[in-house]
């Protein structure tokens, strides 16, 4: 269901429909990976409740969408510019049952890998997010949440040892 971009901020009817659907079935939330998409995502999470939402993220891909005359302000493709195979994979992952991680990646692990707390942590985290196919505009908290869905702690430690 399309939200109409920033129109969702003033569209009470669509928001109420999303709340109803979320409470009955849950929602997979898929937005563009730019700052505007993240603002819409955060608004909907707050307005609906995080317990009803499964987040799905498109990777940062640079380019111009066919229907548009100009590049977006950040030069990134939005959801409509993604290949169908990429969207299918993202939505399949988001709708699959999640396994609880017994030994999750922690903030301390991120710190030890240089992904938190150092002067270049943001840059290093963005580089690792790119390797994982995640958008750059994730908060450290959201990054950690997604990381624990994608990697075991052991995989993370091995991967960051070789990549970073």
| Alpha helix ranges (H) inside 5-120 | 12-25, 35-48, 84-95, 107-112
State pLDDT tens for residues 19-41.
999 999 999 999 998 999 999 99
Residues 85 and 114 reside in one and the same domain: no
User: Average pLDDT for residues 42-48, to the nearest whole number?
Assistant: 96
Q: Rounded to whole angstroms, how far apart are CA atoms 122 and 132? A: 15
Q: Do 105 and 145 fall within a single domain?
A: yes
Spatial CA neighbour of 139 closest among 38, 59, 51: 38
For the cut 90, the answer to whether the pLDDT of residue 75 exceeds it is no
The residue from 96, 119, 139 where one domain ends is: 96
More confident position, 70 or 53: 53
Asked if 91 and 163 sit in the same domain, the reply is no
More confident residue, 101 or 111: 111
Judge whether residue 76 has pLDDT over 70: yes
Min mean pLDDT across 10-19, 59-68, 85-94 is at 59-68
Last-in-domain residue among 42, 69, 96: 96
pLDDT at site 164 = 66
The range of the structural domain enclosing residue 52 comes to 1-96
- The closest alpha carbon to 53, from 31, 26, 16, 30, belongs to 26
Neighbours of 37 (CB within 10 A): 21
Last residue of a domain, one of 64, 96, 128: 96
Whether residue 105 sits in one domain with residue 86: no
| Domain shared by 11 and 70, yes or no | yes
Q: Domain count of the chain? A: 2
For the stretch 84-100, pLDDT in tens is 999 998 898 888 876 56
pLDDT mean over 54-69:
86
User: What is the reported pLDDT for 107?
Assistant: 95
């Amino acid at each position: 269901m399309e939200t109409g971009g920033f129109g969702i901020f003033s569209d009470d009817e669509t928001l109420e429909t999303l709340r109803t659907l979320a409470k009955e079935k849950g929602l997979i939330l898929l937005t563009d990976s730019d700052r505007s998409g993240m603002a819409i995502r955060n608004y909907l999470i707050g307005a609906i409740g995080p317990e009803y939402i499964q987040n799905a993220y498109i990777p940062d891909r640079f380019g111009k969408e066919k229907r548009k005359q100009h590049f977006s302000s950040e030069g990134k493709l939005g959801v409509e510019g993604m290949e169908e195979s990429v969207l299918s994979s993202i939505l399949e992952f988001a709708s699959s049952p999640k396994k609880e991680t017994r030994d999750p990646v922690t903030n301390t692990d991120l710190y030890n890998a240089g992904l938190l707390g150092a002067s270049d942590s943001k840059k290093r985290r963005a580089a690792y997010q790119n390797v994982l196919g995640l958008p750059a505009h994730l908060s450290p908290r959201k990054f950690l949440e997604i990381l624990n869905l994608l990697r075991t702690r052991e995989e993370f430690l091995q991967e960051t040892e070789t990549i970073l």
